Structure 1
Amino acid sequence: MGLLLTAILLGIVEGVTEFLPVSSTGHLILASELFGYSADQWATFNIVIQLGAILAVVVLYWRTFWTVLVGLGARDPGSWRFARNIVVAFIPAAVLGLLLHRYIEILLGAPEVVAVALIVGGIAILLIERLVSPARITGVADIPLNRTVAIGFIQCLAMIPGVSRSGASILGALALGVERKTAAEFSFFLAIPTMVGATTLELWKNHDQLATSAVGWDIIGVGFAISFIVALVVIRWFVGIVSRHGFAPFAWYRIVAGALALVWLLAR
């Protein structure tokens, strides 16, 4: 498969899966097995194009971010709580990500781990949807600090590929009394510092390789643009689905996809 076609396909996979509770990293790892390209060669590409999906959040929610920025300047308590919650929830992933980086890289080369995590995560979504009490928290700024800290640590489960960063943070928020739409949007906003941090670390580690790799900045640019465009559509669709039907459709998708992937990986 040519570089350009691979970049387009991976951009589509990233744009579709980054904000759904189905694990974008897990899907990119399985894609490397399915399409037969070198996962190591495309590792930096897979990290950087996540910024394309993140940019889609900034574009779609620019009014929210602008209101918060203006509110911070005016010392509005709600804006400060909003910013505080994003920063506080990000810190656990930043610290543990740096400490466990080598172990995380080892797991990224294990597609069987992805398949199992997809199945287990799907079951967890179904259980939480059924067992959680009616949500009482209906705004990102209204999430209490102790629950924000808990969501930040729960998000760290996504360091296991296949768990899903958005899935972990959304389910953590649901379990702690946050309503569905707010849980999804909090996950979107939390993705910004998390993914910017991960991309910065990856570029710092591999900047020399980018200069000589066949997967250069031109190919990365294609993947970035594709993931941005696709994520614009998916985010709007996702919020509508969640508001009407909850997260169960994504749970069943995870279980079926994980089971098929596991059977295929073990049988080949």
Structure 2
Amino acid sequence: MGDLINAIIMGIVEGLTEFLPVSSTGHLILTGELLSFTGDRAKTFEVVIQFGAVLAVLVLYRKRFASLLNFKLGKDSGLNVLHIFLAMLPAGVVAVLLHGVIKHYLFGPQTVLIGLVAGGVLMIIADRVKRRIVSEELDDITYKQAFAVGCFQMLALWPGFSRSGSTISGGMLFGTSQKAAAEFTFIVSVPIMAGASGVDLLKSREFLTVADLPLFLIGLCAAFIVAMIAVVTFINLMKKIKLSWFAYYRFALAALFYFIIF
């Protein structure tokens, strides 16, 4: 029963934080420490429940993903597969080259706390720098902006920095609206998360057992349901509040866990 409760809690945390600029990886690592749910089995579980969050975005943006299959690349075609490729390229290359180093050295409570604070500072900078918004909507995003977002996404390879926090900040600094940057982040995250999680799952296949199937399914379902709610809520919030509010939350979380863990 204890493991199933852990699965529900971790699934909720994953679904709630995966697409918010607060670092889902950081929250999962810190929550796992508090629940004493750690080790190779727990890491495999975290990979599995990420697919629940991915599925949530696929369902919510199914029409947008279907339109990408037209492979229109013209200037007036709106968001297309080239935007996605350019946004995936920088972080994808670095992740492949440094995957082992990142997993070995950066996945721990101390590095997460650093990432939470550093990512929060970046978000405040993105919020306060005066800029001209040239891309108000998702279909207005340029190839240059897509590549810039991809470069900022490399920061998310540091646990705690947050993929959405880094990419939304990058988009805003290069002239997208907060809402357009958030939606672009969600769409780009799907192939990246699916690919990265697939590789991790393949490497951790020895920890996949029939006995753990209920644990993984419960966590995945919890992540899917909560992520559906979180994404819709977050997009609406992006029209009303500044990114800095999420940065302040990150600072408070980092301080709280510093005193709890250390």
Number of matched pairs: 262
User: How far is the alpha carbon of 1:190 from its aligned partner?
Assistant: 0.7
Residue in structure 1 matched with residue 225 of structure 2 by the alignment:
229
CA distance, structure 2, for counterparts of residue 140 and residue 219 of structure 1: 37
Which of 98, 101, 104 is the aligned partner of 2:99?
101
Which of 209, 234, 239 is the aligned partner of 2:235?
239
Deviations 1:49-104 (A, max 9, x none): 111111111111222223333x43x7775557522111221122222111111111
| Structure 2 segments unaligned to the other structure (5+ residues) | none
Deviations 1:18-73 (A, max 9, x none): 0000000000000111111224321111122111111111111222223333x43x
Matched, 1:118 2:116: yes
Residue in structure 2 matched with residue 136 of structure 1 by the alignment:
134
Provide the alpha-carbon RMSD of the alignment. Answer: 2.0
Residue in structure 1 matched with residue 260 of structure 2 by the alignment:
264
Q: Is the 8 A contact 1:18 1:53 kept in 2?
A: yes
Report the AA paired with residue 60 of structure 1: L
CA distance, structure 2, for counterparts of residue 76 and residue 225 of structure 1: 39
User: How far is the alpha carbon of 1:154 from its aligned partner?
Assistant: 1.1
Report the AA paired with residue 165 of structure 1: R
CA, structure 1 residues 130+197, in 2 after alignment: closer, same or farther (shift >3 Å)? same
Residue in structure 2 matched with residue 16 of structure 1 by the alignment:
16
User: How far is the alpha carbon of 1:115 from its aligned partner?
Assistant: 1.2
Residues 28-47 of structure 1: pairs in structure 2 closer than 5 A: 28-47=28-47
User: How far is the alpha carbon of 1:210 from its aligned partner?
Assistant: 1.3
Residues 111-260 of structure 1: pairs in structure 2 closer than 5 A: 111-211=109-209, 216-260=212-256
The structure 1 segments of at least 4 consecutive aligned residues displaced by more than 4 Å after TM superposition are: 74-81
Q: Is the 8 A contact 1:181 1:239 kept in 2?
A: yes
CA distance, structure 2, for counterparts of residue 79 and residue 11 of structure 1: 37
CA, structure 1 residues 244+18, in 2 after alignment: closer, same or farther (shift >3 Å)? same
Report the AA paired with residue 245 of structure 2: P
Aligned-residue sequence identity (percent) comes to 39
| Structure 1 segments unaligned to the other structure (5+ residues) | none
Q: Is the 8 A contact 1:14 1:49 kept in 2?
A: yes
Residue in structure 2 matched with residue 92 of structure 1 by the alignment:
90
CA, structure 1 residues 108+29, in 2 after alignment: closer, same or farther (shift >3 Å)? farther
Q: Is the 8 A contact 1:119 1:256 kept in 2?
A: no
CA distance, structure 2, for counterparts of residue 159 and residue 133 of structure 1: 27
CA distance, structure 1, for counterparts of residue 27 and residue 62 of structure 2: 28
Residue in structure 2 matched with residue 56 of structure 1 by the alignment:
56
CA, structure 1 residues 3+179, in 2 after alignment: closer, same or farther (shift >3 Å)? same
CA distance, structure 1, for counterparts of residue 154 and residue 12 of structure 2: 25
CA distance, structure 2, for counterparts of residue 81 and residue 93 of structure 1: 20
CA, structure 1 residues 75+253, in 2 after alignment: closer, same or farther (shift >3 Å)? closer
What SS is found at the alignment partner of 1:245? coil
CA distance, structure 2, for counterparts of residue 58 and residue 79 of structure 1: 21
